[in-house]
Structure 1
Amino acid sequence: MSSTVAELWALKDGLIVAKQLGINNICIEIDADFIVHLISNPSVANLMLEPLLSDCRNLIKTFPNHIVTHVFREANGCADCLAHMGADLNHDFDVHLLYNPPDVVVDLLAREKVGTAFCNRLIIS
């Protein structure tokens, strides 16, 4: 499976869970700019990804207030930690729901809450 397909499956699963929890306002932050472009531009077609991409687009439309944005990988530290944690889990289950943040992200969430979690990114042109 490619990283693009993995990201889209994760997005789809997350959107389904958010819908089941009755969430109406959602901000989707993705560190893959290509996926943000695909999701945000319905006129862009990709035959290999189309069924999954359509599912994601249609699910996003069901949220009354939604936004899809690109974030740099450095600003996505919690997601990165959780992905590494998920890679180490027993793969007998499809989805693990966490009702409280695991210890590996508690410090990151606290820094994000006070606005010190983000790092500067140097861009040289």
Structure 2
Amino acid sequence: MLGYARKIGPVNSCLAELWSLRDGLILCVQAQVQALIVEMDAKALVDAFSNQTKSNVVNSSLMEDCRHLASQISQVSFRHVYREANMCADQLAKLGASMENDFVVFSSPPVCIVPFVEADCRGQYVNRLCPVSVSPV
């Protein structure tokens, strides 16, 4: 199990997700991973990787890096998950924002994400809160 965090500074969520994906794919290629399931809470990016014709010109070079890296792995699947199912990644992103180093790879979970890793191992889930509009009676 590997984890990583990067300090990237102020960017929009789409760019942050792409940087994170790129870092993860580089680690997977270096480790010679043969099959990979990528779960992301950025549905627009999952759709972009599922449909190669959709591309955002602003993010195209970073997107192309990710596509090239993914092509080096035999089996890659991109899946959309809600943010609540992505708590470890969310905590690592928060950790990256507060780090002094630019990039850190963890060979064991940092203390701040241990409870989330344990919950994942137990199969616990977090209910997704959805806004409900209540009409007056």
Which amino acid letter does the alignment assign opposite residue 32 of structure 1?
A
Question: For the Cα contact (< 8 Å) 1:39–1:56, is it kept in 2?
Answer: no
Q: TM-score, normalised by structure 1?
A: 0.88
Aligned with 1:107 (options 109, 115, 137): 115
Distance 2:57 2:116 in 1: 38
**Aligned length in residues:** 122
Displacement after TM superposition at 1:122 (Å): 5.0
Deviations 1:40-70 (A, max 9, x none): 1101122111111111112112111211101
Q: Which runs of 4+ in 1 moved over 6 A?
A: none
Distance 1:35 1:45 in 2: 9
Partner residue in 2 for 1:76: 86
Displacement after TM superposition at 1:94 (Å): 3.1
- Quick check: which one's strand share is greater? 2
Displacement after TM superposition at 1:35 (Å): 1.0
Larger Rg belongs to: 2
Distance 1:27 1:16 in 2: 14
Bigger relative contact order (CA 8 A; separation at least 6): 2
**Does residue 1:11 correspond to 2:21, yes or no?**
yes
Distance 2:82 2:127 in 1: 10
**Does residue 1:25 correspond to 2:38, yes or no?**
no
- Percent identity between the aligned chains? 37
Distance 1:65 1:22 in 2: 12
Aligned with 1:85 (options 92, 95, 101): 95
Q: TM-score, normalised by structure 2?
A: 0.81
Partner residue in 2 for 1:121: 128
Q: Which runs of 5+ in 2 are unaligned?
A: 1-10
Distance 1:95 1:18 in 2: 16
